[in-house]
């Protein structure tokens, strides 16, 4: 069975510092992996995806994610956090169907 886990409910980062939001997955084959962001009172917005190829994927708003097959992880990263990055972040995995993680709330502290 496929699954996705976001081990941290909340992550706090000081503005200007690098940020990482963690995601691990479990599927039996080669998955497609996604990150979405949700701002208050809005729907989810697509950030980036991994299909195949280069393990480092670049997406919107300066975010990137690194696919690590041996660790079955797809962590979201940004070199320098902005207060406006504060939001709820969802990792998703698609193999035969798409499954979303429970979300990680990112707080960027001014």
Q: Which residues bind another protein (CB under 8 A)?
A: 32, 34, 36, 41-46, 49, 51, 90, 94, 97-98, 100-103
Least distance to another protein, CB of residue 32, Å = 5
Give min distance, CB of 46 to another protein, in A: 6
Quote the tokens at residue 62. 């300066």
Burial grade of 75 (CB within 10 A; 0-12, 13-18, 19 or more):
middle
Residue with Cβ nearer another protein (98 or 109): 98
Rounded to whole angstroms, how far apart are CA atoms 41 and 79? 27
Q: In terms of CB distance, is 34 or 79 closer to another protein?
A: 34
Give 82 or 88: the residue with its C-beta nearer to another protein. Answer: 88
CB of 81 to another protein, least distance (A): 23
Buried b (16+ CB within 10 A) or exposed e, 14-24: eeeeebebbbb
């Amino acid at each position: 069975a496929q699954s996705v886990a976001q081990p941290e409910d909340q992550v706090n980062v000081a503005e200007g510092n690098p940020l990482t939001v963690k995601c691990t997955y479990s599927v039996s084959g080669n998955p497609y992996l996604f990150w979405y962001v949700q701002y208050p009172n809005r729907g989810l917005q697509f950030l980036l995806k991994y299909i195949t190829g280069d393990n480092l994927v670049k997406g919107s708003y300066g975010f990137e994610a690194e696919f690590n097959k041996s660790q079955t992880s797809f962590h979201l990263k940004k070199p320098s956090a902005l207060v406006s990055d504060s939001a709820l972040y969802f990792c998703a995995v698609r193999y035969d169907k798409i499954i979303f993680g429970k979300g990680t709330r990112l707080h960027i502290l001014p």
